[in-house]
Amino acid sequence: MKDLLPNITPQLNDVLQSLHFFVPELYLTVLFIVVLVTDLLFGKRSAKMCRVVATGGVFLVILQVLSQQVALPKEAAQRIFNGMLILHHPAISFKLVIDVLALILLMYFAWDNKLKQHTKGLSDLYSIVMGSLLGLHVMAMAVNLLSIYLGIEFVSIASYLLAAYRTGNAKSTEAGLKYVLFGAAASAVMLYGISLIYSFTGTLDIFAPQMQEGLTHINGVSSTFAVGLVLLGIGFKLSSVPVHFYVPDVYEGAATPVTAYLSTLPKIAGFALLVNFITPLIIFSTDAKWAGINIRLVLSAAGIITMIAGNFAALWQNSVKRMLAYSGIGHTGFALMAVTTFSAAGLSSLAYYLFVYGLANIAAFMMANFFENNEDITNIGDYKGLGFKYPVISVAFVVVMISLTGIPISAGFTGKLLVFSAVYDIYQQTHDVWLLALMITGAITTVVGLFYYIKIPLNLFLKRVEIAQNDILKSTNLVVFSSAIALLLIIFGILPHLLTKVL
């Protein structure tokens, strides 16, 4: 005990210094508590209050993240809290993307009729989202196996609660239970991987020299197995094949705004985490003696299979939410393509792609929600002819679908172009056949994607049926908001530098 005493002062100093780089997360922590207390103080009527506090707070957090971005030198990477977390520009970009999307989602939650009518009210939801946001931030910065696990669990537990939020509804409960079961299995697998890595190397810091030492000298199969298990755990958050089984059921069962949350934020943070986790592995594998995992091969294979599985499965879906769930899996595969480049350009294209995907996906769920609120329909087939009844939102829906497909002039296309460029650049240098296969799969699945995305415009505008007019238009805020996002997608499509400057 006495031997450890001298360590206390430097440790404390490190913590105190680290706090300086942890301001947005501190804000989030305080915000979490404030929202929770607001809920307790104002009881049943607190939902509106919580919403205002939460959105206002997240706005402040965004400002803090932006100031971090300005303050941190370009190539700097700051390790904080004894090397548990890292703060560098990619992490800040991802946090920014997450926070902006979270802000949109926070406004959106209250506009779902089914969620709003829930007896519990929405106050708890806001505090859960605040908590998860903190976890997402940790995920984006984690570079220690312990903090990686902590971040993932943080987000997972919040997500389970959100998925099962509408407790009265059997489907929502089923979604929550499925999510918990699959999630628990995934974390167990990941923990097993972490413990194996720890036993091989004696360290949890993924950048530590012992880590390289240990993983290089261990039998290749064993280290591949251990790393593979951790990747599976991360893949669960990305909804990548082969751990994507839960996605359609959970997305369909959860309330629509929650699905919008699940399909974007944890996924984006998962990508940030994946990038953090594989960075040391890439450095290690440049060593000639490295016999372990070929990370590019694994990610490429996963990317190809995920793109194919997601896009082809989406073809057969009738429910809008299930279709978007599968298409989200396809997008994960495409984004994995950007990860395989291991280059700065690949990273920035990844952040751009994910942000645009997130925007479009949230807008798509908003619009699906609009039709759910107004017409009580969830199947694509029931959208028949509604384009003439609700012209504005239907046109916006078409724009969003175009962006998700990746056709000019939309931000989705620019994202695709950036990813292709980054991959092509690396292909030109290495002539790696896997990268070529990725690009070809990406191109083919784009055409496949069109096939199911176009079903929505097809039903909205091309099918002719007699429509009964109803005068009361509900959820106008959804119309305004999702149309604004659609407009934004076109603007970012024409002028992408507006966005890349910030990211």
Residues found near other proteins in the complex (CB under 8 A): 343-345, 348-349, 388, 398, 402, 407-409, 413, 416-418, 420-422, 424-425, 427-428, 431, 433, 436, 439-440, 443-444, 446-447, 450-451, 454, 457-458, 461-463, 495-497, 500
At its nearest, how many Å lie between other proteins and the CB of residue 345?
Answer: 4
Please identify, using beta-carbon distances, which residue of 37 and 407 lies nearer to other proteins: 407
DSSP state letters, 427-461: HHHH--HHHHHHHHHHHHHHHHHHHHHTHHHIIII
Is the CB of residue 143 less than 8 Å from the CB of residue 98? no
Please identify, using beta-carbon distances, which residue of 245 and 388 lies nearer to other proteins: 388
Please identify, using beta-carbon distances, which residue of 292 and 415 lies nearer to other proteins: 415
DSSP state letters, 342-355: -SHHHHHHHHHHHH
At its nearest, how many Å lie between other proteins and the CB of residue 143?
Answer: 21
* Closest alpha carbon to 166 in 254, 102, 81: 254
Is the CB of residue 254 less than 8 Å from the CB of residue 172? yes
At its nearest, how many Å lie between other proteins and the CB of residue 425?
Answer: 5
Please identify, using beta-carbon distances, which residue of 221 and 462 lies nearer to other proteins: 462
At its nearest, how many Å lie between other proteins and the CB of residue 212?
Answer: 25
* Cα separation, 234 vs 152, whole angstroms: 8
Q: Which residues contact 406 (CB under 8 A, 6 or more apart)?
A: 412, 413, 415, 416, 446, 449
At its nearest, how many Å lie between other proteins and the CB of residue 27?
Answer: 30
Please identify, using beta-carbon distances, which residue of 2 and 497 lies nearer to other proteins: 497
* Cα separation, 394 vs 391, whole angstroms: 5
* Cα separation, 356 vs 97, whole angstroms: 9
> What count of other Cβ atoms lies within 10 Å of the Cβ of residue 130?
27
Both tokens of residue 238?
Answer: 């990305």
* Cα separation, 503 vs 492, whole angstroms: 13
- φ, ψ (nearest 5 deg) of residue 85: -125, 160
Please identify, using beta-carbon distances, which residue of 242 and 408 lies nearer to other proteins: 408
At its nearest, how many Å lie between other proteins and the CB of residue 231?
Answer: 26
Is the CB of residue 483 less than 8 Å from the CB of residue 398? no
At its nearest, how many Å lie between other proteins and the CB of residue 419?
Answer: 10
Please identify, using beta-carbon distances, which residue of 107 and 407 lies nearer to other proteins: 407
Give the side-chain half-sphere CA count within 13 A for 157.
Answer: 11
At its nearest, how many Å lie between other proteins and the CB of residue 423?
Answer: 9
How far CA 474 is from CA of 208, 369, 372, 373, 376, in Å, comes to: 56, 11, 11, 7, 12
Task: Enumerate the β-bridge partners of residue 87.
Answer: 78
At its nearest, how many Å lie between other proteins and the CB of residue 443?
Answer: 4
Task: Enumerate the β-bridge partners of residue 379.
Answer: 319
Please identify, using beta-carbon distances, which residue of 116 and 389 lies nearer to other proteins: 389
Please identify, using beta-carbon distances, which residue of 261 and 434 lies nearer to other proteins: 434
Please identify, using beta-carbon distances, which residue of 316 and 451 lies nearer to other proteins: 451
At its nearest, how many Å lie between other proteins and the CB of residue 344?
Answer: 4
Please identify, using beta-carbon distances, which residue of 52 and 444 lies nearer to other proteins: 444
At its nearest, how many Å lie between other proteins and the CB of residue 289?
Answer: 28
Is the CB of residue 485 less than 8 Å from the CB of residue 359? yes
Q: Containing H/E element for 85?
A: strand 85-88
* Cα separation, 408 vs 400, whole angstroms: 12
Give the side-chain half-sphere CA count within 13 A for 363.
Answer: 29
